[in-house]
Amino acid sequence: MTEIASEHTAVHQTAATPPIVTLHGVAKRFASGTLALDQLDLAIRHGEFVSLLGPSGCGKSTALRLIAGLAEPTRGSISWGGRNKPEVGFVFQEPTLMPWATVFRNVMLPLELEGVEHRVATKRATEALERVGRSRASSSTTIFWSCGGRSATR
């Protein structure tokens, strides 16, 4: 069973504060028959720092994929506090870079797949690389990078 640990930030929240995302009785069974999650209830409020803890294979990544919209629950529901689902970022556990492509192309790919206009995508990718201190490496390939370097690019 997955344990959920939550710690409030400087912005004090009360139980009366509506959650920004809620999972109600969420279950996920894969086509192989593997039950990754069963009856997960989770409410995350604005300002909370949430950690999913548990052994390998207990459903932590599956829960994150469901919240990010990369998969659908088999049972249960995910709600966004009465709002439309916002854009959610997701960082995979393993570096999922294209080793033959430049750092810039790796950063551009999700924006292109999302249909972001090329000019806007280029600006966003450039700004993202600057934020993580990788702008000077944007034309290099990732194949020779350390794991830390690859993680910073994700």
Q: How far apart are CA 107 and CA 122, in angstroms?
A: 9
The sign one gets for the Cα dihedral 20, 26, 31, 35 is: positive
Q: How far apart are CA 57 and CA 37, in angstroms?
A: 10
Q: Please give the pLDDT value at position 63.
A: 93
Q: Please give the pLDDT value at position 3.
A: 43
- Is 151 within 8 Å of 142 (Cβ atoms)? no
- Is 66 within 8 Å of 14 (Cβ atoms)? no
- Is 134 within 8 Å of 127 (Cβ atoms)? no
| pLDDT top residue among 86 and 152 | 86
Q: How far apart are CA 47 and CA 89, in angstroms?
A: 16
Tokens of 113: 């797949």
Q: Please give the pLDDT value at position 134.
A: 79
Q: Is the pLDDT of residue 46 over 80?
A: yes
Mean pLDDT along residues 52-70: 87
**Quick one: 27 exposed, middle or buried, by C-beta within 10 A (0-12, 13-18, 19+)?**
middle
**Helix spans in 21-100 (H):** 60-68
| pLDDT top residue among 132 and 24 | 24
pLDDT-derived band at 122 (thresholds 50, 70, 90) equals very high
C-alpha 37, offset from chain centre = 17
pLDDT tens string 84-93: 877 776 666 6
Residue with tokens 């009785």: 25
Mean pLDDT along residues 27-32: 93
Sketch out the chain's domains with CATH numbers.
Answer: 3-79 (3.40.50.300), 103-153 (no CATH)
Q: How far apart are CA 10 and CA 44, in angstroms?
A: 16
Residue 29: CB atoms within 10 Å:
14
